[in-house]
Structure 1
């Protein structure tokens, strides 16, 4: 059985919106303010994660961003790994997909539940805020990996939106990344 992992870079106050400046958010590009040491350390951890990933789960806009920003044609081991893994794209509109991708066409809960049965390892979600909210709401996320960046933005879309009930988690790992990033790994407490 597969494991759905939400892997996000977030600000100190939980903002995930427009970290690289692609959407026109007022504080767009906040991730780009990291210094070189922190960015290199972040990239090393993300590459390590990519090597352990069996599939990617992406919203349509995140998928388009990955393709448009050159991951589909970029060189190097990290890009090669991202190209190689199957990608499952959540989209309610017809999408012209490339990059080893399949559209999940039905109900998100049903499609992700089926995907968990079909993929044996980690299915990692990057970006895709609306999909992340739905996975959290429907208790489909098996792990949250949060790269907490040293910025408080004060506004913007946050990873945790409204839910129908409290969502309890337990901390399973804390890791310092570079000089100012902390990676927090949580798993749901479904018994709470």
Structure 2
């Protein structure tokens, strides 16, 4: 069975919206402004993750974002992403924008569960905030990797929304990326202190 990995760049207060500044958010563009001298270290981290992945999973907007850039940008990381099989969860999209992509148009939980069953390695999710929330709500995320940027922006959509129950996670790795970024890796916790068993 595939391992579903959510990989995100986030601010210290959990905001994931408008990292590039193209969305017009008042505090957008934090990704570039607070990357500092850590670009090379961040790029190495992303490349290693892409090389270990078997597939990418995303929502429609993330497909549009990367698809529009895949033909005009270059580099080892993007070349690897272009070669990977991609799955776009959307009930309205007919033709994906990114290369080597397939639309998953059915019910999200069923489609993703089926994808996990037929994939042997890591399925990585970039961006795709609404999709991530659905995957978390239905306990489909096996691992969460957060690259935390050293800024509190105070406004914007955060990675997680309201859920109908707690979603316990266990910190399994921490590392510093460059001089200013923190990379935190969590796995889904099966047992929670004070409970006999975590929700499965």
- Which bin holds the TM-score, normalised by the shorter protein? over 0.9
Q: Within 5 A, what are the aligned runs for 1:14-163? A: 14-68=14-68, 70-97=69-96, 98-163=98-163
Residue 2 (str. 1) matches residue 2 (str. 2): yes
Whether the 8 Å contact between 1:72 and 1:79 is mirrored in structure 2 is: no
Q: Structure 1's 111 and 72: CA in aligned 2 closer, same or farther, altered over 3 A?
A: farther
The Cα RMSD (Å) is 1.2
Q: Which has the larger radius of gyration?
A: 2
After superposition, the Cα gap between the structure-2 partners of 1:72 and 1:140, relative to the gap in structure 1 and judged at 3 Å, is farther
* CA drift at 1:72: 3.9
- Name the TM-score, length of structure 2 as normaliser: 0.92
Out of 164-173 and 36-45, give the one that drifted further: 36-45
TM-score, L = length of structure 1: 0.95
Shift of 1:113: 0.3
Instruction: Give the Cα separation in 2 of the matches to 1:64 and 1:35.
Output: 24
Cα displacement string for residues 117-142 of structure 1 (whole angstroms, at most 9, x for unaligned residues)? 01100000000000000011100000
Range with bigger deviation, 21-30 or 179-188: 21-30
Gaps of 5+ in 1: none
Q: Quick one: distance in 1 between partners of 2:94 and 2:12?
A: 34
